[in-house]
Each structure stands twice: as C-alpha cells, then as structure tokens.
Structure 1
Amino acid sequence: MTHSPLLRSDETLFRDPEVFEFTFLPEQIHYRDAQVRELAFLLQPALRGGSAGSAVIRGPPGTGKTTTVHRIFAEVTETTKKLVPVYVNCRHDRTALAVFGCIFEQAFGYAPPSRHLDGIKRGIAARLRDEDAALVVCLDDANELIPAGTYNTLLYQILRLYERWDVRKPGVFAVASDLGLNLYAEADESVRSVFHPTEVNFPPYTKAEIRGILADRIRQGLYPGVVSKSLLDRIAGIAAGEQDIRVGIDLVRLTVLRAEKDGRRRVAPADVTAAAQAVRSPALRARVAGLSEGERALLYRIAELSVVGADMIGGAVFEEVQDYLPVGRTTYHEHLNGLANAGIVDLVPGAGRGREVRLRYDPGEVLAVCKPPDRR
C-alpha cells in the first residue's frame, strides 16, 4: 500500500502517544539492573515475614529513579499481598496528615474517612495486620520535607509505626536529586537509631544508553520511519548534554508534533532545532532557579566572558570576576562546583593550566535566564 507524501488530517504519526508522557511506565527498565537488584534485595525480607529494608536513592534529575521505583512497586503489587508499597510525591504532600493520608489511600484504594492523624494510622495498621503485610514507603523528592520542617517527624513516625500499632517495622525509600545533600546526615539521632539505609546511586545515562531508551520508546510509540537514525542520534546527544532522559523523551514528542502539524510523515532537522530550544530553555530556568545568589552571579559573569571569547581557564575566570563578585578562592571554587553539580557548566581538565570552564548552554540563553545581580 502506498502512502501519500502528505499526512491527511485524520492520520497521526503516533502509534501510542502515552509512551512519550513522563508518567508512562515501561515494561522494562533499561540500564538500571544493578539498582533494581539492590532495591529488590531490600524488599525480600518482607516477603518472608520480616520487615523491608530502607534506602537513600540518589541521582541527578532524569536518571530513572522514580520510574525504577514505580516499576518495582507495580510488580510487587501484582504478585503479592505480603508487602504494601506506597509512593509519596513530597513536592505535593509534605505534612504528616497528607503523607499518612496518601499511605492510607494507596493501601485501601479510597481516601481515609477520618481527618485525624491517629485515626488514619490506626486504619493503616489494621490493614497491615489483617493481611500480615509489611509497609514500604517511597518518599520521592524527600529533600522537599527539610525546608518544610517535617523530614525528621515523618521518618520517625513511619519507621516507628510498629511501636504503637503492633505491625512490622516499615521500610523507607528516600529519594533525592540534590547530590550535595546527605539525607542520612539530615536525620536526627532518634531517626538514625531506626533508619539504616542502603545508598543506591543512579548515575546519568550515557549518550548510547539514552539512544537505546529513546529507540525503544520510538518503536512503541511511533509508526516506522518517522524519526531517522541520524536525528535520533542528534536528539540523544542533546539529552546527554542535559544529562536528563526526560529531555530526550520530550524532544521526540515535540519534533513529531511539529511534523504532524505540517502534514509531514517524517521529522526534519529543523523540527529538532526548534524543539530543542523549547525544551532546553525551561530546563535551564529550572536549574538556575536552584542556584544560590553567589552561584547565579558567577554564572552570569561566566556567560558574559563566554560571549566575548575570554580565557575560560578557572584561574583566569577567578581573576575576571573579582570586580563583579569579590569572593575568595575557596568560595569561588564552591560556587563553580555548584554550577557543575547543577549541570550548567562542565569543568574540563586542561593541559597544566587548571580546569577550563565550559557552559553547556548558549551564553545568550544564560544571560536571558539569569537576572544580573546588583553591581556595587
């Protein structure tokens, strides 16, 4: 059957558009076998009548932490009632009442009838006793609980649920994308006495791994021939530069939508260029939003220096920023490492002259996103 070169209004390039949603849960988690084994190992004691272990799950954004937990929890729910896995998004639920309400709702399938914390806990404990089940709670973005002032309270109340309610000791998977934060160290003594987590690290995906994941999504979600191998390589390279698989998934979705809107059956290079701008700018804004005032000021000056083609070796940059950001070398290097950890600059070892500071983004984009601090 031959196809017209143009797409009809009732045709689509998407076989399954849900494959490109961030909430999509793939059947197989690629390139995370070691992390899956570690987390599954922590759940095994609960399947034999004991308690689940705890973990601190660390890695930059877009490295598969949440997807991996969801996949493991989905498989547990499908295969056994001996373990009650609960996922909590701490960006949305930060108070004890909200978190325990979330635990109740996922354990029972409906919202708690009581708005009193003790009543909710009593209901959760009854469910666990009736099923002779153990509880494991994933606190995703657990770092959000620290400024909210509820991190220690929630860990204490979840982990010590067994003391009052005669249930097995729950496990907690605490997830954080802030690599500079030690969630175990943030716990106070009363929590650390019952919180003994295994640290499970999720490194950034390589370009080859990102390409493999995107190729799998394209096979599932698009009709054949929509995205060429060369454009897939380009998209994978952009996502690898961002160190975020979500950028790649969103890029595929947006490029295909552009082609579809124009009635074309294949993605063109111009689609990738336009979509990359739409995806990268919000990603940059999100990264800049997490910087300290000093880091933001340094980033702005680095962008200015990049525009004029200045010497970008770390020592030379330090001298150039003194009139603009008068800090000592220790603070300067702390700020510089903060920019590197945020994924905005790369610090490339030089040939005897120290590290070269390279922006991952167009300096014009950085200047547009960063408001210049007051000069004095």
Structure 2
Amino acid sequence: MSLFNDALKSGESLFLNEFALDYNFVPKLLPYREGEQRHLATCIMPLLQNRNGRNLLIHGAPGIGKTAAMRWVFRDLENETDDVIPIYVNCWQKNTSYKIVLEICETLGYRLTHNKRTEELLDVVKEFANKKPLVFAFDEIDKVDDYGFLYTLLEDIFKKSIFLITNHKDWLLDMDQRIKSRLTPEMVEFKKYNLNEIKGILKERAQYALVPGTLEQGALDIIAEKTHMMEDIRTGIYLLREAALIAESKSSKKITEEHAKAAMEKLEEFSAKKKEDMEDEMKMMLEIVKKNSGQKIGDLFKTYQAEGGNLVYKSFQRKMRKLADGKFVTIQTIKGGSEGTTSIITYQTTKKLTEF
C-alpha cells in the first residue's frame, strides 16, 4: 500500500463550494427555524393583499440564525412575487439615518443621491412606497445612533412591514415613546440551538461545501461541541472552513480530529487578536467590568466616569452591548424593584482548549 494514497494531487481540493462556509451564505433549506420563518412570512402576507403588514422585533443571542432566517424569507418572497420589495440594511455598517436611507435608495435602484439631504432621500422612498409595498429588515438595529428614519417610515409609509433584529430584547425599552407607540411590534424569540441541532446544521453545511466523505465524524463532533459551548453557529462554520484549509495545506484527503483541533487553536488566536484590536474606550470598559463583575450598569458607568471616560450614558450602553455581542461580557436584565428595570453586567471568562 502506497504512503501517498491519502495525499491530494495537484489541482485536487476538499471544497465543492467554499462560499457555502461564508457567513452570508443562505442554504436552500434552513433547518430548525421553520416556525420562526412562518411567523416572518405571516407578517408580510397582508402586503400581498394590498393591506398594511405587521411589524416584528426579532431577538435572541448572536449566531443562532436570526439573519439567515430573515434572508431566507426575503429570498422566498423575491422568488414568489415582484409585488412587494424586500429591503435589508445592516445597521452595524449603516448606523445613521442618512446612511440607512441612502442604502434603501440604492436597493430601490435610485442613484441620484449626490448632495441630497436625509429628508429628500426619505421623500424618494415614500414615492417608491406609493407604487409597491415595502418590507424593511433592519439588522443590528440597536447599533443605530439616531432613529429619525424609523419615525418617518412608520408615520408616512402606509403599506409596509418593518422587521427589527437585535440580540437584546430590552433594547426596545429605551426607544422613543413616539416610535414605540407607532411600531407596536410582535415579538419573535430565536432560542439557542441544542447540540443535536448544531450537528445537523454543520453536517448539512458540510454537504454543500465539501467533497463527500472528506469530513470524518470525529472532526464534526469536536467542532459541534465547541460550537455548542460558544453558543454561536458562526463558530462552527468558521471551524469547518479552517479545518478543511488546514487539511488541504497538509495534502490530506480527509478532515480529521487533528485538523479540527488545529482550527480551534486558530479560533483562540483570532479571539485574542479581536481583544487586542478593540478600541481603547471599550478596553477601558472591559477592564472596569472585569474588576467589578456582577454590578449594575449604572454603577459601572459611574466608575467609568470617575476614571476619566468621555462617553454619555446612551453610548456607554451601546458599547456594552457590543462587548456582549463579542461574548466578552454577559448582560442580565432585572425588572421590578425600587430602581425599575436595570442590567447586571458580568465579565465573561473563556475556556481554553485544554478544558474540553
């Protein structure tokens, strides 16, 4: 038996479609989210009957399929009809009213945006909305600096659905009452995937992305367990891709447990680098949480101010949510009591590879 039977030849690859391991890839089927997808579709259906749609707040932890489910429904809508226009905006990237409305205009195919103010661009959107109903999805809505655009869409567009996607259900509590009263959204919570669901998702994604028979069961099990611990399906997708690339770099025809473990080490290096690259203001906040873990956010803000922090409270809250999204801290909302609703911030320690 040749020692080279298991080596990749020149031009061979373990990948069928590497893009299937990209975060933005939307598979033909989205398992374990059928109920949530039906709810999203139900909110859009009145628009197909030329009536006003329903608004929705979609919430749940990062990396559990909120964006993917919404994109799947939008794709299905586009395949079914041209009578309703879906518009998706990533508010992490477009975080002001002007940037958001500019993105909407570009999606609608309107290009004459140069030197136009936000109000003028909103007039363009309203003109389009009078011709066809629109369904908006604003992903990471809690990252927006101002919500003037949302008030105008709610007030002046009569046939629309608005989906707001956030990792933080309590974000709505801080919303301007004028907007909240017009929005009156239904709530859809995305629950975390269990281990068997994670294995099913990763196995299906591997079928899209990898040559059949190349992913060993042991490697899949290790990646699924790490993903379950991290509570973020994007971790598993990253590890699948990295393990395959490591296997290819060693000219291996199989993705083994060894390759999966090597990918996990790269993930830890990547997480450490993310922390190093964090802006100074957030590093300062994280250090304060580390020293005062388990305190109320208001008390942490006082400490932050005493140590020379320059952010106002609203900006401090937004950046704390970013730290939570990055799994550096956890936020627990406490309702009731003498102080009303407040948040408890806890420093998040990460497990090392040797702890598995």
TM-score scaled to structure 1, two decimals?
0.73
Q: Distance in 2 between matches of 1:292 and 1:359?
A: 12
The equivalent residue for 2:217 is 229
Q: Distance in 2 between matches of 1:296 and 1:358?
A: 8
Amino acid at match of 2:165: V
The equivalent residue for 1:204 is 192
CA-CA distance at 1:292 after TM superposition: 4.7
The equivalent residue for 2:118 is 117
Q: Distance in 2 between matches of 1:99 and 1:221?
A: 33
Secondary structure of the residue that 2:183 maps to in structure 1?
Answer: coil
Q: Distance in 2 between matches of 1:186 and 1:134?
A: 29
Q: Identity percentage over the alignment?
A: 25
Relative to structure 1, the CA distance from residue 106 to residue 193 in structure 2 (aligned partners, 3 Å threshold; closer, same or farther) is same
Secondary structure of the residue that 1:14 maps to in structure 2?
Answer: coil
Secondary structure of the residue that 2:247 maps to in structure 1?
Answer: helix
Native 8 Å contact 1:101 1:111 kept in 2: no
The equivalent residue for 1:43 is 44
Amino acid at match of 2:46: P
The equivalent residue for 1:156 is 151
The equivalent residue for 1:99 is 100
Q: Distance in 1 between matches of 2:19 and 2:326?
A: 29
Amino acid at match of 1:251: L
The equivalent residue for 1:277 is 265
Q: Distance in 2 between matches of 1:115 and 1:360?
A: 47
Relative to structure 1, the CA distance from residue 280 to residue 47 in structure 2 (aligned partners, 3 Å threshold; closer, same or farther) is farther
Pair 1:26-2:27 in alignment: yes
Amino acid at match of 2:107: Q
Which aligned segments of 4 or more residues in structure 1 are displaced greater than 3 angstroms? Answer: 109-114, 280-294, 339-346, 357-360
The equivalent residue for 1:361 is 351
Pair 1:245-2:233 in alignment: yes
Q: Distance in 1 between matches of 2:267 and 2:53?
A: 39
Q: Distance in 2 between matches of 1:187 and 1:25?
A: 31
CA-CA distance at 1:361 after TM superposition: 0.9
Pair 1:297-2:291 in alignment: yes
The equivalent residue for 2:340 is none
CA-CA distance at 1:341 after TM superposition: 9.4
Amino acid at match of 1:296: K
The equivalent residue for 2:55 is 54
Q: Distance in 2 between matches of 1:61 and 1:287?
A: 18
Q: Distance in 2 between matches of 1:260 and 1:80?
A: 43
Native 8 Å contact 2:222 2:257 kept in 1: no
Deviations 1:278-327 (A, max 9, x none): 1244447768967754432357xx9xxxxxxxxxxxxxxxxxxxxxxxxx
Q: Distance in 2 between matches of 1:139 and 1:235?
A: 31
CA-CA distance at 1:183 after TM superposition: 3.0
Is there any run of 5+ residues in structure 1 with no aligned partner, and where?
Answer: 163-167, 303-338, 347-356, 366-376
**Which deviates the most, 183-192 or 276-285?**
276-285
The equivalent residue for 1:259 is 247
CA-CA distance at 1:87 after TM superposition: 0.6
In terms of Rg, which structure is larger?
1
Q: Distance in 1 between matches of 2:30 and 2:43?
A: 18
Map residues 83-98 of structure 1 onto 2, 5 A cutoff.
83-98=84-99
Native 8 Å contact 1:35 1:200 kept in 2: yes
CA-CA distance at 1:70 after TM superposition: 0.8
The equivalent residue for 2:171 is 183
Is there any run of 5+ residues in structure 2 with no aligned partner, and where?
Answer: 295-322, 331-346
Q: Distance in 2 between matches of 1:187 and 1:267?
A: 48
**Aligned residues: CA RMSD:** 3.1
Secondary structure of the residue that 1:194 maps to in structure 2?
Answer: helix
Amino acid at match of 2:106: E
Native 8 Å contact 1:20 1:217 kept in 2: yes
Native 8 Å contact 1:55 1:200 kept in 2: yes
Amino acid at match of 2:150: L
Native 8 Å contact 2:219 2:259 kept in 1: no
The equivalent residue for 2:304 is none
Native 8 Å contact 1:90 1:142 kept in 2: yes
Relative to structure 1, the CA distance from residue 360 to residue 117 in structure 2 (aligned partners, 3 Å threshold; closer, same or farther) is closer
Amino acid at match of 1:9: S
